[in-house]
Structure 1
Amino acid sequence: MYSLNQISYLLHDYLVDLGVSDIYAKYLNTLILLVLLAIALYIFDYFLRKLVISVFARFTSLSKTNFDDFLVRNKVPRNIAHIVPIIIAYNTVPYVFNGFDKAQVLVLKGLEVFGIILTLWVIRSLLNTLKDFFKTLPNLKDKPIDSYIQVFMIFLWSIGILLAISILTDIELWKFLTGLGTASAVILLIFKDTILGFVASIQVSINDMVRIGDWISFDNYGADGDVIEINLATVKVQNFDNTITTIPTYALISDSFKNWRGMTNSPGRRIKRALIVKQESIKFLAPRDIQKYKKISLITDYIIGRQETITEYNKSNNIDKSILINGRNLTNIGLFRKYADTYLKNHSAINKDMMVMVRQLAPTPQGIPLEVYAFSSDKRWENYEYIMSDIFDHLLAAITYFDLELFELPSSTNFKNTPKS
């Protein structure tokens, strides 16, 4: 029986017997063996890859979980199948390059580096599989899993690069790391954005600031829409006009933005809008005015009860009502405020379990703001806008029945209709 070392020289001996010089015989022997090894490894890798993939495919068809489907989709079986040929090549190369020590060392180093890269590919495929699988779980699908995987892969690639450099330069890893410490300032400068993104990703995740699917508004970056991706460097937001805005991850902790998740999770969406009432249209109500307003059904009972209380107070205190300002009185803006409040509390689209209020704000140069503060039961944007418009359509039309006027800047038509002096 021949040993492997003897087999590697069979072709060399045959060539020498044919009259080829020893040096050329050695080169031809090595070249032919290298070609044969490459062909054999390619064929072996091809059939092994097909075998592993077919076995995985059959297993996934019988399995009830979708985890193995993600393994196949992310090419985990394909990458694993490459490991065996690399091991065979590593153990066979010394016999192929027998007598060429420098070339043998160089090729072995290349195989070791390729082995490191292949290992990183396998790990990356496994991590991508975990990422896809976690996104199918209800408790994890809105978490920034991409950021965690990117951080871990950066760490692994850093180790892989250091190991590769250590193998190629024959410098021990700890000595290489010691020398690398002197260049740490340059490294920190180069990877500044990556480090900022890494820290920001951790803070965003720990503080639960943003999740995938959240609606955020970020004025500094012109973003207003749903978060579709969170990774180490960027956060992608799909705006409501279907454009995509990319925001640096660290901007989420350095700048101010609005997350609408609280509104989405709450039982209602806030309506907060004011009508500006002209001050000169506000007045005390005379008895004839009160009789007119009693015909407004929403506040009829309120006016009757309130008027009885006011009349009793004025009589008991001998108030001179020959002048309307004396004593207690109803005002048209007060009745309208009560009307708007009652209208909201009777509106079917308003959540009665949350705050419902119509309040008067501080006077402005334009007039008196009368603000509606309530929450719609339907939080969907289109329906919310419809509800709010429906409410203010009614209030804008109703305010004239209380002899009130809204502030409006004069238009060119107003000036045209002004009589000439």
Structure 2
Amino acid sequence: MKQFRDFLFSLFQDLNILDHWALTFSIGLSLIALIVLAFLAQLSTRVILVSLIHRLFQKTKTEWDDFLIKRKVFRALAHFPSALIIYAAYDFSGVEIITDILYGISRIYLVVIFALTTVRLANTINDIYQTTPYAATRPIKGYIQLLQIFIIFMSVILGISIIIGKSPLGIFAGLGAMAAVLLLIFKDSILGFVASIQLSANNMLKPGDWIEMQSHKADGTVIDISLTTVKVQNWDKTITTIPTYALVSESFNNWSGMEESGGRRIKRSVNIDMKSVRFCDHEMLDKLSHFYLLKDFIKTKQEEIKAFNEQLNIQDGDVYNGRRQTNLGIFRYYLQAYLKQNPNIHQDMTFLVRHLDPTEKGIPIEIYVFSKDQEWANYEGIQADIFDHVLAILPEFGLLVFQNPSGHDILQLSNTLQNNSAN
């Protein structure tokens, strides 16, 4: 680079340019050439060497080299030649201030490459460890994160020492004296910084996620994540601001898993009046057999029950000893069949129609399925259509929905009692 600068200087002198401007132009062009050379070195290393290594590793049967590719370790190492070029040619100009700046930049560049490579290598080690049987009971992710924080911290200290021209030991001594004051003044910033690292490292939160945090009355989409705060736009378009560290120290629901799964859960029950549950007689079975969803089921079930009763020599009308179908059991099967044919319901995800524990408000029949459409309005419409049908079809099975007496019920009972007393 010195020879290139001298060549340019001589060339400008031959063009009758003043020595001052000739030196300035030659140093400027040499600096541009150095930057271009460093960039080309990084680019060629990345394109040739890294691509070659990637192709070679992809052909191997081992997994650890695939993790090196996944974590982009070699992409970080590709910057090393360009840093060496700048470090080797930092004193080309002969100007002290330019020499000092290039010397500092080259050293800081090397520190950044070292930090970036070691952090990515630590992630690779964790990925490799996750493939071992020990990972399920002895996770090391916390130790890896602690090591990464230490590496980043040491790199920052080294970078500051290079910029100010002081020994790193002197910076550590000064930090020790100011630690108490810094912790007091920048408490929220420090907590937010650590929390943001945890949120990012653990993939707990990102902009666009739908989160719900009742303690801060937040229920909506994350629109901004900063050092100290996370902004959530609620569904009513209000903005809730949450301290970043609160998302680590407290619990919250992140619905991104639901959005990525392709389904949205429907979990709702209807309470059946237990007094309306009874055995089905022939008339009811004949009536329900006209439902195309129930025709084959009732026929098959009746044949099964008849064979069982005949095996035990139980008469058809023996209510106490024989098996018989109930209106609630048939209704439960009807709900399953009805939901199976619903095009808006996921058939490959959890699919349940079940009894819950009976309470003083009746016996709950719960529907636990997932809708294909996750959009709020459409999801609510699908859910409403299902339960509209459930409430409308219940009387056909001789079942009643439980509800507490209303004013109309009490008035109707009062009128009935008055009419009876009058008669």
> What SS does the corresponding residue of 1:213 show, helix, strand or coil?
coil
| Equivalent residue number for residue 291 of structure 1 | 286
Does 2:315 align with 1:339?
no
Does 2:364 align with 1:353?
no
Q: Give the one of 213, 216, 219 matched to 2:211.
A: 216
| Equivalent residue number for residue 395 of structure 1 | 390
Does 2:253 align with 1:258?
yes
Q: Please say if residues 223 and 245 of structure 1, whose CA atoms lie closer than 8 Å, have aligned partners that are also in contact.
A: yes
Alpha-carbon displacement from aligned partner over 1:309-360 (angstroms, at most 9, x marks no partner): 1111111211134332321110000000000000000011112222222111
**Distance in 2, Cα, partners of 1:182 & 1:303:** 83
| Higher mean displacement: 355-364 or 244-253 | 355-364
**Distance in 1, Cα, partners of 2:175 & 2:311:** 93
Q: 1:254 to 1:180 in 2, by over 3 A?
A: closer
> What SS does the corresponding residue of 2:404 show, helix, strand or coil?
coil
Matching residue's letter, 2:346: N
| Equivalent residue number for residue 43 of structure 2 | none
| Equivalent residue number for residue 182 of structure 1 | 177
**Distance in 2, Cα, partners of 1:177 & 1:333:** 75
Does 2:268 align with 1:268?
no
**Which structure 2 segments of 5+ residues have no match?**
1-96, 98-148, 419-423
Q: Please say if residues 281 and 404 of structure 1, whose CA atoms lie closer than 8 Å, have aligned partners that are also in contact.
A: yes
> What SS does the corresponding residue of 1:274 show, helix, strand or coil?
strand
| Equivalent residue number for residue 408 of structure 1 | 403
**Distance in 2, Cα, partners of 1:347 & 1:409:** 31
Alpha-carbon displacement from aligned partner over 1:259-314 (angstroms, at most 9, x marks no partner): 01111011211111111111111011122221121122211110011111111111
Alpha-carbon displacement from aligned partner over 1:129-172 (angstroms, at most 9, x marks no partner): xxxxxxxxxxxxxxxxxxx9xx99xx79x969x96xx9xxxx99
**Distance in 2, Cα, partners of 1:396 & 1:274:** 11
**Distance in 1, Cα, partners of 2:191 & 2:411:** 61
How big is the shift at 1:192? 1.4
Q: Give the one of 224, 231, 234 matched to 2:226.
A: 231
Q: Please say if residues 284 and 325 of structure 1, whose CA atoms lie closer than 8 Å, have aligned partners that are also in contact.
A: no
Matching residue's letter, 1:207: N
Aligned-residue RMSD, C-alpha: 2.9
> What SS does the corresponding residue of 1:184 show, helix, strand or coil?
helix
Matching residue's letter, 1:312: A
Q: Give the one of 200, 204, 207 matched to 1:205.
A: 200
TM-score normalized by the length of structure 1: 0.58
Structure possessing the higher radius of gyration over alpha carbons: 1
> What SS does the corresponding residue of 2:294 show, helix, strand or coil?
helix
**Distance in 2, Cα, partners of 1:176 & 1:292:** 88
| Equivalent residue number for residue 386 of structure 1 | 381
How big is the shift at 1:416? 1.3
How big is the shift at 1:411? 1.1
How big is the shift at 1:175? 6.2
Q: 1:183 to 1:403 in 2, by over 3 A?
A: same
Does 2:194 align with 1:196?
no
How big is the shift at 1:187? 2.0
Alpha-carbon displacement from aligned partner over 1:45-104 (angstroms, at most 9, x marks no partner): xxxxxxxxxxxxxxxxxxxxxxxxxxxxxxxxxxxxxxxxxxxxxx9xxxxxxxxxxxxx
Q: Please say if residues 293 and 402 of structure 1, whose CA atoms lie closer than 8 Å, have aligned partners that are also in contact.
A: yes
How big is the shift at 1:179? 5.3
Q: 1:186 to 1:331 in 2, by over 3 A?
A: same
Matching residue's letter, 2:295: T
How big is the shift at 1:396? 0.9
**Distance in 2, Cα, partners of 1:276 & 1:325:** 27
Q: 1:179 to 1:391 in 2, by over 3 A?
A: closer
Alignment of 1:4-403 (within 5 A): 178=173, 181-403=176-398
Q: 1:384 to 1:176 in 2, by over 3 A?
A: closer
Percent sequence identity over aligned pairs: 47
Q: 1:413 to 1:191 in 2, by over 3 A?
A: same
Equivalenced residue count is 265
How big is the shift at 1:181? 2.7
TM-score normalized by the length of structure 2: 0.58
Matching residue's letter, 1:325: Y
How big is the shift at 1:226? 0.6
**Distance in 2, Cα, partners of 1:404 & 1:411:** 19
How big is the shift at 1:183? 3.8
Alpha-carbon displacement from aligned partner over 1:25-48 (angstroms, at most 9, x marks no partner): xxxxxxxxxxxxxxxxxxxxxxxx
